[in-house]
Amino acid sequence: MKVESVRGMRDVLPAEVGLWQRLEREIRSCFERYAYGEIRPPVVELAELFSRGVGGDTDLVHKEMYVFPDRKGLPLALRPEATASVVRAFVEHGLHARGDLAKLYYLGPMFRYEKPQKGRQRQFHQYGVEALGSLDPALDAEVIDLAAQLMVALGLERQGLTLRLNAIGCAADRPPYKAALATYLGEHAEQLCADCQRRAVENPMRVLDCKQPRCRAVSKDAPHSAQHLCGACARHFGEVKTYLDALDLAYKEDYTLVRGLDYYTRTVFELCSDELGAQDALLGGGRYDDLVSVLGGPPTPAVGFAGGMERLVLLLQGLAGEDETRLLDAVLVPVGDDPAVRSAAVDALHRLRVAGRTADMEYMARSLRKAMQVAARRARWVIILGPDELERGEVTVRHLASAQEAAVPLARLTEPGVWPGSV
């Protein structure tokens, strides 16, 4: 019986992997230019980390998290996001004790039990950064700038991108704002979807997240969090915008942007692309100044963002000219089945690889002509080794692009510059 992959969890096949690897290289290099260092937290965490960190009544934890007991009954979770894990690691390893800013990045799989659709999987991959230890609004601007620069590095800056920005205030701003919002939503309860009628009472800010047109219509005129900021939060937001202007980064203030996770404070943002359809958020993030203390660390302000790799892949696949097939340096074709020839070929192949060349051998017993055709699609050079060549202690090296050919002594095969057409 055929066993299939789990719904919403897909293979990245070899034809696509080149693009993924290029993305991963660009992302790492961009993050490192902004002085972020990599952290690799585990994929499995205690479920409690997310119920406390992200919020027990967020959809993410309540409806979408994969939770399972281990063999002793301990409730574990496949991580649905990485911010809580990074903060846990930051507290657990005393990274705060160094008294400096901790700038960390990650890349890896996350798991959410959502309805799979274009740009939304149950196993997906996030790249993200977290900067822990400073309240400086220039740091908010830095992470937004980093996100924007990454899109430039990937050649996506013209893919209908919009930076949505909002400020949702600190813990002290929240109760009066929620009260004002709940009052407004109460007055329009009959226009809301059934879920939002409940949310309006239990967690009114979640109504602003709802995608239903009727709820959006109500949200449009709802009180804005940015109008309910204390003096310090209002100043912070003003400075973030000043820095974004200084960086020439265009943004759209969107008062309905509240983000689906409970840990956010002050700045929140999303970068969306109108080329992505319903799941249009390329990345999202913001400040979470209380999360470190909620997870048992000393009060530590922090800001970060994460984006989905699959959505970048969708955009890049839509761009013409994206060809990631990478050629090997050489394919070695032994001629005939003389054991001495085959041993010499195995040895030559090994020496090529040890010398740092990417190389493979014809293993499928194809005719020389067929083997040459296949090799021409895979490599820049073909190396032919038959009984005559072996007797002379040579191989024939053919540069496919220029059709130049040369006899090269076997002993000198790995020397630079001896292959025809080499640069």
Q: Is 300 in the site for ligand HAM (CB under 6 A)?
A: no
Among 22, 96, 120, 178, contact with ligand HAM (rule: CB under 6 A): 120
The one among 170, 281, 328, 406 contacting ligand HAM by CB under 6 A: 281
Rounded to the nearest whole angstrom, what is the least distance from the CB of residue 111 to ligand HAM in the complex? 9
* Shortest distance (Å) from residue 135 CB to ligand HAM: 15
By beta-carbon proximity to ligand HAM, the closer residue of 154 and 331 is: 154
CB of 230 to ligand HAM, least distance (A): 22
**In this complex, which beta carbon is closest to ligand HAM, that of residue 119 or of residue 223?**
119
Task: State which residue, 259 or 380, has the beta carbon closest to ligand HAM.
Answer: 259
Least distance in angstroms from the C-beta of 41 to ligand HAM: 12
Least separation in angstroms between residue 132's CB and ligand HAM is: 10
Shortest reach from residue 412's CB to ligand HAM, in Å: 51
* SS3 of the chain: CCCCCCCCCCCCCHHHHHHHHHHHHHHHHHHHHCCCEECCCCCEEEHHHHHHHHHCCCHHHHCCCCEEECCCCCEEEECCCCHHHHHHHHHHCCHHHHCCCEEEEEEEEEECCCCCECCECCEEEEEEEEEECCCCHHHHHHHHHHHHHHHHHCCCCCCCEEEEEEECCCCCCHHHHHHHHHHHHHHCHHHCCHHHHHHHHHCHHHHHHCCCHHHHHHHHCCCCHHHCCCHHHHHHHHHHHHHHHHCCCCCEECCCCCCCCCCCEEEEEEEEECCCCCCCEEEEEEECCCHHHHCCCCCCCEEEEEEEHHHHHHHHHHCCCCCCCCCEEEEEEECCCCHHHHHHHHHHHHHHHHCCCCEEECCCCCCHHHHHHHHHHHEEEEEEECHHHHHHCEEEEEECCCCEEEEEEHHHCCCCCCCCCCC
As measured in angstroms, the least distance from the Cβ of 282 to ligand HAM is 6
Q: Which of residues 37-96 bind ligand HAM (CB under 6 A)?
A: 81, 83
Q: Residue 419, interface with ligand HAM (CB under 6 A)?
A: no
Only segment of 20-28, 119-127, 228-236, 372-380 that touches ligand HAM (CB under 6 A): 119-127
Using CB under 6 A, which of 218, 282, 349, 384 touches ligand HAM? 282
Residues 306-365 that bind ligand HAM (CB under 6 A): 306-308, 310-311
- The residue range among 22-30, 41-49, 283-291, 384-392 that interacts with ligand HAM, by the rule CB under 6 A, is 283-291
Give the CA distances from residue 111 to residues 8, 24, 79, 122, 336, in Å, rounded to whole numbers and listed in that order.
Answer: 10, 19, 6, 5, 51
The residue within the footprint of ligand HAM, chosen from 50, 305, 381, 419 (CB under 6 A), is 305
Using CB under 6 A, which of the segments 65-73, 114-122, 154-162, 383-391 binds ligand HAM? Answer: 114-122
Interface with ligand HAM (CB under 6 A), residue from 41, 137, 204, 285: 285
CB of 326 to ligand HAM, least distance (A): 26
Q: Which is nearer to ligand HAM, 265 or 396 (CB)?
A: 265
For tokens 């470190």, the residue is 292
The yes or no reply on residue 265 touching ligand HAM (CB under 6 A) is no
Binding piece for ligand HAM, criterion CB under 6 A, among 120-128, 207-215, 313-321, 387-395: 120-128
Number of residues in contact with ligand HAM under rule CB under 6 A = 25
Class of residue 323 by CB neighbours under 10 A (exposed 0-12, middle 13-18, buried 19+): exposed
First vs last C-alpha separation in the chain: 52
254: contact with ligand HAM by CB under 6 A: no
Interaction of residue 249 with ligand HAM, rule CB under 6 A: no
Report if residue 114 touches ligand HAM, rule: CB under 6 A.
yes
CB of 184 to ligand HAM, least distance (A): 25
List Cβ neighbours of 258 (8 Å cut-off, separation of 6 or more).
Answer: 166, 168, 205, 206, 208, 209, 225, 264, 268
130 binds ligand HAM (CB under 6 A): yes
C-alpha separations of 264 from 54, 168, 244, 261 in Å: 9, 8, 20, 7
Instruction: Please give the residue ranges that form the binding site for ligand HAM (CB under 6 A).
Output: 81, 83, 112, 114, 119-121, 124, 126, 128, 130, 281-286, 288, 304-308, 310-311
